[in-house]
């Protein structure tokens, strides 16, 4: 099941860990993070799913790793359906997920990464290892759960600094 399912989440001066859930780690309508550390690891579906606004302030760190092992279609380490902003000075590390790293899943979805933000999206779309992912003929050990790559799957608008 999901660790968090829907609603508006605001984290201030916090350290938050969502780990080892069969469903989503952090699923929210709006997600706003101020001067906080979010550690989202080893969740079966999305690490973070934001249906509305996503805001990561300049003093926050996000670690989103090893999610999507119980993958269904449309999962991602960070899935965004609304508007997202990652402020200059923030640190966001999205790595080693079984699904896509970032997925803007609607035409109206957008993500703006300000100059000075440290965004790393690496080694996503990992192959299953027999302990993670569906053990079926199409997704057994050594199979990939994603068909669309492991970096950024973009149906909306993504703006990155030069």
CB atoms within 10 A of CB 68: 29
Question: Could you report how far apart the first and last alpha carbons of the chain are, in Å?
Answer: 39
Question: Could you read off the pLDDT of 92-101 as tens digits, one per residue?
Answer: 999 999 888 9
- Cα–Cα dist 27/30, whole Å: 9
- Kindly report the pTM of this predicted structure: 0.88
Mean pLDDT of 40-54: 94
- Encoding tokens for residue 45? 């579906």
Q: What share of the chain is helix, strand, coil (3-state, %, to 5)?
A: 0, 45, 55
Choose between 153 and 34: higher pLDDT. Answer: 34
Helix (H) or strand (E) holding 46, with range, is: none
CB atoms within 10 A of CB 13: 9
Question: Could you read off the pLDDT of 120-160 as tens digits, one per residue?
Answer: 999 888 766 555 554 444 544 555 555 556 788 888 999 99
pLDDT at 75: 81
Mean pLDDT of 49-70: 95
């Amino acid at each position: 099941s999901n660790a968090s399912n829907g609603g508006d989440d605001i984290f201030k001066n916090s350290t938050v860990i969502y780990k080892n859930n069969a469903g989503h780690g952090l699923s929210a309508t709006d997600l706003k993070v101020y001067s906080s550390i979010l550690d989202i690891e080893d969740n079966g579906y999305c690490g973070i799913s934001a249906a509305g606004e996503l805001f990561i302030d300049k003093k926050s760190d996000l670690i989103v790793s090893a999610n999507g092992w119980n993958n269904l279609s449309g999962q991602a380490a960070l899935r965004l359906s609304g508007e997202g902003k990652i402020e200059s000075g923030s640190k966001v590390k999205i790595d080693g997920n079984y699904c896509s790293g970032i997925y803007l899943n609607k035409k109206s979805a957008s993500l703006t990464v300000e100059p000075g933000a440290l965004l790393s999206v690496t080694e996503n779309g990992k192959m299953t290892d027999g302990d993670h992912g569906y053990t079926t003929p199409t997704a057994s050990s050594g199979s990939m759960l994603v068909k669309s790559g492991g970096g950024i799957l973009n149906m909306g608008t993504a703006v990155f600094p030069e």
